[in-house]
A and B are shown apart, each in its own frame.
Chain A
Amino acid sequence: MASGSKKGQHPRKRFYRARAHSNPLSDSQFPVPVSPAHMDWSDHFPAFFKSNITAAPETGHDSEFNFEAKYTVKKENLNGTCSEWSKAKGVEGDSKCSSASIIDVSVRKAEGLEICKKIQAFGDEEPKVHFADIGCGFGGLLVKLSPMFPNTLMVGMELRDKVSEYVKDRIIALRKENPGQFQNISIIRTNAMKYLQNYFQKGQLQKMFFLFPDPHFKERNHRRRIISIALLAEYAHVMALGGILYTVTDVEELGEWMKSCLEAHPLFEEVPLKKQEADPVVGLLKCATEEGQKVERNGGKTFYSVYCRVLASSAGA
């Protein structure tokens, strides 16, 4: 049995290869929540949502399977013709679940406690996503960030369906391998240029990442660039005051473009160099993602900018 996307194992990239570009301007064919209130994050971060641990202390581990099971159910809904297969898969998942539960009872209990602690930390307020990696690709940055900010929910947004499937499988595998970890990262297949406001409320995000975006060299394609003066207004809307927006690219022209857009925007201000150096996240920009590693291997240059969401200066407004 090929194991590229076998349940709970690390997915193999070769089965998820996709074209490097996807047109962000075309009409989307995936479901988008009507508004942030309609978005159900508990599928994505079961460990952080109360309902999953109220039943019994053991359910801590099962929550991981809920994540998977829900996806399986969704797949089943999506694909009527393959329902037989889905059912079979569901059964397989169940058996695994029970075997796993025999082995990891102690681990699971510890994890359950850990999750209880997490929930206590949140109180009654529903946990919210605070970091967004726009165009997360194969999810390298999320995986690096997850242990650095274990109590912060972060989500990757990727337009290419196959790539987002890869990240989903990767997160499932990571959660399974490292019980209690990687519960705070997830992935959505969506078009952030169009639908960011459907997922996040005003001022919700503390960090936004735009790592190695499509350069779109041709002038007539500049409107497809992920950073532009017009779109920055929408990013500023979902970002909290003091939130930080990171961009990095290996294309000098694009680096300059992104910097000039941010510089011209009244709601963003460059983070002073000293502060940038002190920020552990800045170091990750270059090396955390698959794209960044490729650039590093080839000895390419990178150009990054780190900007802070500020109140509009009176001159600009």
Chain B
Amino acid sequence: MNMEDDEGHDGFAAEKTVTPALLALHPFSKFVVVSVGSQLRVFNLLEKCAVDSEDINSQSCHVDAIKTITFSKDGGLFASAGDDKHVKLWDTDTWRCLRTVVATKKISASSFSSDGKWLLYADKFGVVYAISTEYVKDPLAGPADPGQPVSLLAHCCSIITSLKCSADGRYIITADRDFKIRISIFPKNPLMGAHEIEGFCLGHTSFVSCVAVVNNNLTSQFLVSGGGDGTVRLWEVETATLLDTVDVYEKITIANSDVDNTAVQLPAITCIAVSNNASLVAVGLESLDGVIILGLDIKSKRLRFLQKFLLEDHYCPTSIQFDRNGWLWLVAGAAQRTEAGEEKATSWVKVVSISSGDAILLESIDPASLPGGTLLLEALDGTDSDVKKALALADAANMAVKEQLSKKKYTNEHRELRKRLRNDKKLQKGM
């Protein structure tokens, strides 16, 4: 980004020190992964035991904050990347690192192509790269030529906040801090780059913080996005048209008047997830200690506000995801790096069950009834986890992200004041 031009931006200092925790679920619920700072914590849900994190974190661990983690669609591969500019590809059977790609810039988002043949990752300069995953899957398929990452497409120097591939594999979806979501056609040969743009989803009036793809069997593809403007929007991918908008902040201020609606800046959407049956959207909102549940109706192309579900005090999730059973997994946590380079990583994982009968009923699941029980939480939260600290840090991390992505706003008066000494302005004054 434009750090050299933007010295006054205090967001960068904050960004360096606090990183939100992330959560990723295996598509068939075999594993759950939480990343906090530079650590990956993996839990095997089938065997109900932690994957030896010693092994993962010793052989070739990340040395700086992880900013993106993702499973491939078939669950065979996993990728992690972040501020240390290393993109790591993992085999989920053995949890060995198959390959480390050294990028030139910090990584902000990643996704596997829907056929799993490519890993796409976006750096902070807005460039999306692709690397082939094929050779690592099949070592017998001739000489292993890993191939260099190729640049697919680029947003003009804008941090890419979210990168997804549409479920049908036809599109690459990239969201950035310049308020837009770009829909590019997934090229037949990614080595040649992705040059064809299907459309731009324009509607957010602040940065786009998160995007989730809606899985469905219809011919049309849909996606939902959350932004720094506090809205969640539903889009049709093919035409890049805005179908519906829910102003989440407005909804909860009406539902609950104790939220300060005189805030100068609207709270940002921090994370978003769509249930596998495409009927519910869960949303995390900055400084809200809970989640907001929206109803999604693909047939009528509508989103509607259902419920605000409060969790423990100050539990502001930093990352959320639905599993196959419709449970919502949440993590609130962050890693803080001290000036000496020491990292303090804390997180708190929770699971919420959602039963959608006549009325939506949410219920926090007792740790004991989780697969693996308290073992799971021990593995994911770390042993020395201080709950209070985790929550305070999680909120701080969400704020830090927002700080980094927001643009400085100047009033018209301020802008004009700066121009007042200009020659052309002086002239008009003298008239």
Contacts and interface: CB of A to CB of B under 8 A. Distances in A.
Contacts of A194: 156-158, 178
Contacts of A78: 412-413, 415-416
30 contacts: A1-B431, A5-B424, A5-B427, A6-B427, A15-B423, A15-B427, A24-B156, A26-B2, A27-B2, A34-B202, A35-B203, A78-B416, A79-B416, A81-B413, A82-B416, A82-B429, A85-B431, A162-B422, A194-B178, A195-B178, A198-B180, A223-B125, A228-B154, A229-B193, A236-B196, A267-B195, A316-B192, A317-B185, A317-B188, A317-B195
B122 interface: no
B195 A25 contact: no
Contact of B6 (A2, A17, A27, A229): A27
B2 A233 contact: no
Given A25-B5, A25-B157, A197 B195 contact: no
Contacts of B203: 34-35
A82 B180 CA distance: 35
B427 A236 contact: no
A132 to B, nearest CB: 16
A267 B423 contact: no
Interface of B: 1-2, 5-6, 125, 127, 151, 153-158, 178-180, 184-185, 187-189, 192-197, 199-200, 202-203, 205, 407-408, 410, 412-413, 415-416, 419, 422-424, 427-431
Contacts of B180: 197-198
Interface in A7-39: 11, 14-17, 23-27, 29, 34-36
A305 to B, nearest CB: 18
B427 A4 contact: yes
A27 B158 CA distance: 9
Given A35-B202, A35-B203, A79-B416, A237 B431 contact: no
Contact of B205 (A34, A231, A312): A34
A232 B193 CA distance: 12
Interface residues of A, number: 53
Interface of A: 1-2, 4-6, 11, 14-17, 23-27, 29, 34-36, 77-82, 85, 89, 161-162, 165-166, 193-195, 197-198, 202, 223, 228-234, 236-237, 265-267, 312, 316-317
B413 A202 contact: no
A23 B195 contact: no
B236 to A, nearest CB: 14
Contacts of B158: 194
Given A17-B423, A317-B187, A6 B415 contact: no
A149 to B, nearest CB: 27
B427 A223 contact: no
Dominant secondary structure at the A interface: helix
B428 A27 contact: no
A12 to B, nearest CB: 9
Contacts of B151: 230
Contact of B196 (A26, A229, A317): A317
Contacts of B430: 1-2
Contacts of B195: 229, 232-233, 236, 265-267, 312, 316-317
Given A78-B412, A231-B156, A233-B194, 18 more contacts: A5-B428, A11-B424, A24-B156, A26-B6, A29-B408, A29-B415, A34-B203, A81-B416, A89-B431, A162-B424, A166-B424, A197-B200, A223-B157, A229-B195, A233-B184, A233-B195, A233-B196, A265-B195
B154 A230 contact: yes
Given A5-B424, A78-B415, A317-B187, A233 B153 contact: yes
Contacts of A82: 416, 429
A165 B424 contact: yes
Nearest to B430: A2
A5 B425 CA distance: 9
B202 A197 contact: yes
A266 B263 CA distance: 48
6 pairs of A and B residues whose beta carbons are closest in the complex: A230-B154, A35-B202, A237-B197, A79-B416, A25-B157, A26-B5
A81 B193 CA distance: 52
Contacts of A14: 423
A53 B423 CA distance: 36
A44 to B, nearest CB: 20
Given A27-B6, A85-B429, A312-B196, A230 B415 contact: no
A24 B69 CA distance: 32
A77 B157 CA distance: 31
A16 B416 contact: no
Nearest to A265: B195
Nearest to A312: B196
Nearest to A14: B423
A58 B6 CA distance: 51
Contacts of B422: 162
Contacts of A223: 125, 157
Nearest to B179: A34
B332 to A, nearest CB: 30
A85 B419 CA distance: 16
Nearest to A80: B413
A47 to B, nearest CB: 25
Interface centre among B180, B407, B410 (most CB of A within 10 A): B180
A212 B180 CA distance: 29
A195 B423 CA distance: 28
B157 A202 contact: no
Contacts of B197: 233-234, 236-237
A281 B153 CA distance: 31
A229 B195 CA distance: 8
A77 B411 CA distance: 11
A125 to B, nearest CB: 20
Contacts of B200: 197, 237
Contacts of B408: 27, 29
Nearest to B5: A26
Contacts of B416: 78-79, 81-82
A286 B5 CA distance: 33
Given A15-B427, A312-B196, A193 B156 contact: yes
A26 B2 CA distance: 6
A265 B193 CA distance: 9
